[in-house]
């Protein structure tokens, strides 16, 4: 069987669920927030289903225990402040790189592929997390969920990253784990790979419109021809 190969000069990678399993940290912060609000804790697997669209959406979902849940604005602001306080303490304490991430990043860099992170995680948490887990040096820069006016699934952060790289979108490969990554990459005109081990709000990645599903970043690297 012929394996399709993809030409790219750079790759932009999602963070939570693609590079790092951050749910243990997030679940600790969510449950500390819920405890202060007089609510029972949630299972880690339940919190995982709420991850992917940034801190505000996570707080909406985690407080209501509902994927579509929404809080009134004053309650959101109060709960978000609690979550951010606890997450600043937990960020990076238990997070671990998925199998093949460090090896895949090393191989991509050795190939001459330029790398950046585009995430919906707030900027204040992204830099420290990449540093604490030893991944920061692999990337030229990162774009956080509050760096710009819009975040994934809007294409703005992807196009912003492409512009910073000085490359047309078609030469930038996006790699993520969720519908947010797939929609943002498609709208930006980028090829996109998905990994099957992330969060994707509880849905199977095989339902996504992507160019390839890769078992790991090592697998992704084997499909790329650097141009």
DSSP helix/strand/coil, 19: coil
Measured CA to CA, the distance from residue 107 to residue 115 in angstroms comes to 11
Instruction: Confirm whether 14 is a catalytic residue.
Output: yes
Same domain as 172, residue 157 = yes
- Is residue 151 included in any domain, yes or no? yes
Same domain as 117, residue 27 = no
Residue 52 pLDDT = 86
Residue 2 pLDDT = 54
Q: Which of 44, 66, 90 is the last residue of a domain?
A: 90
The CATH number assigned to the domain holding 124 equals 3.40.50.1000
Same domain as 77, residue 106 = no
Q: Which residue has the tokens 């498609």?
A: 186
| β pairing state of 20-21 and 96-97 | antiparallel
List the chain pLDDT tens, one digit each, 227 residues: 456 899 999 999 999 999 999 999 999 999 999 999 999 999 999 999 999 888 999 999 999 999 999 999 999 999 999 999 999 999 999 999 999 999 999 999 999 999 999 999 999 999 999 999 999 999 999 999 999 999 999 999 999 999 999 999 999 999 999 999 999 999 999 999 999 999 888 788 889 999 999 999 999 999 999 99
Measured CA to CA, the distance from residue 14 to residue 142 in angstroms comes to 10
- Is residue 155 included in any domain, yes or no? yes
Pick the catalytic residue from 14, 16, 177, 181: 14
Residue 201 pLDDT = 83
Q: Which of 56, 90, 124 is the last residue of a domain?
A: 90
Domain count, the chain: 2
Range of the domain at 106: 6-22+96-226
- Name which of 11, 179, 205, 191 is nearest 111 in CA terms: 11
Same domain as 102, residue 86 = no
Same domain as 191, residue 147 = yes
Same domain as 190, residue 151 = yes
Residue 200 pLDDT = 83
Same domain as 113, residue 220 = yes
- Is residue 194 included in any domain, yes or no? yes
Same domain as 75, residue 38 = yes
156 — phi, psi (to 5°)?
Answer: -55, -50
Measured CA to CA, the distance from residue 179 to residue 122 in angstroms comes to 19
Same domain as 86, residue 147 = no
Residue 1 pLDDT = 43
For 50, counting Cβ atoms within 10 Å of its Cβ (0-12 exposed, 13-18 middle, 19+ buried), the class is buried
Distances (CA, A) of 208 to 26, 44, 89: 25, 24, 34
- Is residue 1 included in any domain, yes or no? no
Residue 203 pLDDT = 83
Same domain as 71, residue 15 = no
The CATH number assigned to the domain holding 37 equals 1.10.150.240
- Is residue 14 included in any domain, yes or no? yes
Same domain as 222, residue 143 = yes
Q: Which of 41, 68, 90 is the last residue of a domain?
A: 90
Same domain as 84, residue 195 = no
What pTM value is reported for the model?
Answer: 0.93
Residue 202 pLDDT = 79
């Amino acid at each position: 069987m012929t394996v399709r190969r993809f030409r790219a000069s750079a790759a932009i990678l999602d963070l939570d669920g693609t590079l790092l399993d951050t749910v243990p940290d997030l679940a600790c912060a969510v449950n500390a927030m819920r405890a202060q609000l007089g609510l029972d804790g949630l299972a880690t697997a339940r919190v995982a289903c709420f991850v992917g669209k940034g801190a505000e959406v996570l707080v909406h979902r985690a407080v209501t225990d509902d994927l579509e849940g929404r809080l009134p604005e004053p309650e959101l602001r109060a709960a978000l402040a609690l979550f951010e306080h606890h997450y600043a303490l937990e960020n990076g304490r238990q997070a671990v790189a998925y199998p093949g991430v460090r090896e895949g990043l090393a191989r991509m860099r050795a190939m001459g592929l330029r790398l950046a992170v585009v995430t919906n995680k707030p900027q204040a948490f992204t830099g420290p997390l990449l540093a604490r887990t030893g991944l920061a040096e692999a990337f030229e820069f990162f774009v956080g969920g509050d760096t710009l006016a819009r975040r994934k699934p809007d294409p703005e952060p992807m196009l912003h990253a492409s512009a910073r790289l000085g490359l047309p979108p078609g030469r930038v490969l996006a790699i993520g784990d969720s519908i947010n990554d797939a929609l943002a990459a498609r709208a930006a005109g980028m090829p996109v790979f998905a990994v099957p081990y992330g969060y994707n709000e509880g849905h199977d990645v095989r339902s996504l419109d992507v160019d390839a599903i890769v078992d790991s970043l090592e697998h992704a690297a084997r499909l790329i021809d650097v141009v």
